[in-house]
A and B are shown apart, each in its own frame.
Chain A
Amino acid sequence: MSDERVEVEEELADELTEDEAADILDELDAIEDDRLARQTDEGAQQLRRGERELVLTGAHWPEPDNDETMIINMGPQHPSTHGVLRIMMELDGETLVRSKAVIGYLHTGMEKTAEELMYIQGSTNVTRMDYASPLSNELVFSLATERLLDLEVPDRAQWIRMLLVELNRISSHLLFQATNGMDLGAVSMMLFGWREREEALRVLEEITGLRMNHNYIRPGGVAADLPDGWQESVLKLCETVERGIDDYDRLLTENPIWQERTVGVGTVTTEQCLALGITGPILRSTGFPWDLRKEQPYLKYPEVDFDVVYTENGDVFDRYRIRLFEIAESIRIVRQCVEKMPPGDYRVQDRKVTPPPRSRINESMEALIHHFKLFTEGFSVPAGETYVAIESPRGEIGCYIVADGTAKPYRLHIRGPSFYNLQSMGPMVEGAMVADAVAIVSSIDPILGEVDR
């Protein structure tokens, strides 16, 4: 009996006759009963399978064999779901029977938007898909456009692109280390990861002008040449990050709590990965050393020395280790980029594709016209279609463009690795505990901006 009701009863005793008071009290009882009934009928109870469709719209499962299991929703606002991922989990006690990712909460129709934007504007759009490694998106879009244009980018531009993409791989993997630590309760790991990532973003800002969504790699080259003194900041970053990953290694790798949470959890096999279209660190963690940078090289990757990191067990621990070692490999590549950066132009000098230098606009009518035409009409791309794939920090990112001869793509499709990698959750969570689900989702490292596009 609530306090309110006691008050009401006292009030009624003063003002009303006994009959009237009884009527009102009956009414209050009925309301209370109704509330209790609703709480038990529609609350927790409704997550039982029978009435599942009422609660779980948008996700229909075939009827189960037994009534012993229960369906629980995780997300879309759960902090460990990296944005707005919703996971339906079917539980038998505390064991996961199966899971299903429900996505689309971040869908903003970016592929539709891409059809409205000129190629010269396109990289501003694709860069917002995978916001943790925006430069990979820009690179794959630019490579696809350049292939349609049959355009060869100068050497220096290719080296700059490679440097930037590797710096971005470092910052993306640092983000993974931070969030992965946080999800499993290693809060100091989160702070460490964030600390080094901030340094990486600072260097990216120095070079591109922005911390994220750089729009730096564009069709025809890059937006601007490297700033003065870039070597020092990049090399300093390499040292900082190297110290950082030593810290992480000491903090986590041998840590018994960490191992307890990750070793043997969420295992997946090579066969499952190949069947499910899973690429990147998850595939490499199963003992399958497939890296597009080595297998189907682009940019200047054949000219730098680096190793493909792979492990055999395919569990959460291995995925953490692979990403840790990939940071070290990226640092190796970055150091070689600093060493081997050739002189030359940072973009093609084709006035139909890239704008003239700012200084020329003041003196040359032709340059002014080129500049004006390029930014109002864009450049047209001959009709055709192509698919280009590169290795992003999360796996194979692909760009399929259908061009119809105008300045805008007729159709642009991005094959986001996170979108496919999310499907690996199915085999990974089977038989795992509820608490492991957090570790598993975290180890997939999905970026929901890319999943939903």
Chain B
Amino acid sequence: MPDAPPREETHESEHDDDAPTELVPAPPSDEVAAAILERFDDARFVESHTQPVVYLDRSQWRDVAEFLRDEQQFTMCVDVTAVDFLTAVGRSLPPGVGPERFEVVANFLSHARNRRIRLIAQVPATDAEIASLTPLYPGVNFPEREVFDLFGIDFVDHPDMTRILMPDDWDGHPLRKDDHPARVPVTFKEDPRPS
């Protein structure tokens, strides 16, 4: 396995795409993405800076992860995180993907095939929940708790959906764009102003 030659989407691969910043729907140049698109109708493929990215409906979140794990040899879910697009302007999404406030992002790595793929699902603010990947990849336990803690997105079927970084009695979710820093006032001992 370590002898496998690195594939195209690795680091330092040539930046030959013309307009990397525009999310143009292209025919899937990536074989894994093509397989996902063939199986799941709602999925949309985008090449982002030479990396394959697949946009999904959140109802298919776990199904696609299972497909990746069981049929495409994606042995590791490297990272789960989220983005709050509340204040974003000029957001570009592939056609057919309705923008919602949150995006949950998961990066997968296949050791056997030495390639990566990124899945992104839209999550609305009113019903902020998505299926947990912990039954498939137990390692996303911590990161999903982190997303729950900092964004307030609920992962259904997670074994331990509690705050992880913030105190248990904390009010709000710090990485949301409407949760302003310095919301909690800090008074210093020597501060002459009345607190």
Interface residues of A (CB under 8 A from B): 57-60, 103-104, 107, 109, 111-113, 116, 143, 147-148, 150, 152, 274-278, 288-290, 294-299, 308, 382-390, 396, 398, 400, 402, 404-405, 410-411, 413, 415, 419-420, 422-423, 452-453
Residues of B in contact with A (beta carbons under 8 Å apart) = 1-2, 4, 6, 10-12, 15, 20-21, 23, 48-49, 51, 53, 75-79, 81, 83-84, 88-92, 105, 107, 111, 114, 116, 118, 137-143, 146, 150, 160, 162-168, 174-175, 181
Determine the main DSSP class of B at the interface with A.
loop
Known: A112-B175, A382-B21. Is A299-B83 also a contact (CB below 8 A)?
Answer: no
Task: With CB as the reference atom, state the residue of chain B lying closest to A405.
Answer: B90
A58 touches B162 (CB 8 A): yes
Q: CB-CB < 8 A to A400: which residues of B? A: 79, 81, 105, 107
Docked pose: A289 CA to B1 CA in angstroms: 9
Q: Across the interface, do B78 and A143 meet the contact criterion of CB distance under 8 Å?
A: no
Least CB distance from B115 to A in Å reads 9
Contact A276 B20 (CB under 8 A): no
* B49: nearest chain-A partner, CB-CB: A386
- B11-A277 in contact (CB<8A): no
Of listed B1, B75, B114, B166, residue having the most chain A CB within 10 A: B75
CA distance A405 to B138 in the complex (A): 36
B contact residues around A452 at 8 Å (CB): 165
A-B contact pairs, 26 of them (CB 8 A): A104-B164, A111-B175, A112-B174, A112-B175, A113-B181, A116-B181, A147-B49, A148-B49, A275-B76, A275-B137, A277-B76, A277-B140, A289-B2, A295-B6, A298-B10, A308-B2, A383-B90, A384-B20, A384-B49, A386-B48, A386-B49, A389-B11, A400-B107, A410-B83, A420-B139, A423-B139
Contacts of B83 in A (CB 8 A): 402, 410-411
Given A277-B77, A296-B114, A383-B21, 17 additional A-B pairs, CB 8 A? A57-B168, A58-B167, A60-B160, A104-B163, A107-B166, A152-B15, A297-B6, A298-B12, A384-B49, A387-B107, A389-B78, A390-B11, A398-B107, A404-B88, A415-B78, A419-B142, A452-B165
Q: How far is the CB of B184 from chain A (nearest CB, A)?
A: 11
A195–B23 alpha-carbon span in the complex (Å): 52
Known: A112-B175, A116-B181, A419-B142. A387 touches B51 (CB 8 A): yes
A109 B49 Cβ-Cβ under 8 A? no
Q: How far is the CB of B90 from chain A (nearest CB, A)?
A: 6
User: How far is B164's CA from A60's CA once the two chains are assembled, in angstroms?
Assistant: 12
The answer to whether A396 and B165 touch (CB under 8 A), given A386-B51, A387-B118, is no
Q: Name the distance in Å between A408's Cβ and chain B's nearest Cβ.
A: 12
- Knowing A112-B174, A276-B138 are in contact, say whether A396-B78 is a contact too (CB < 8 A): yes
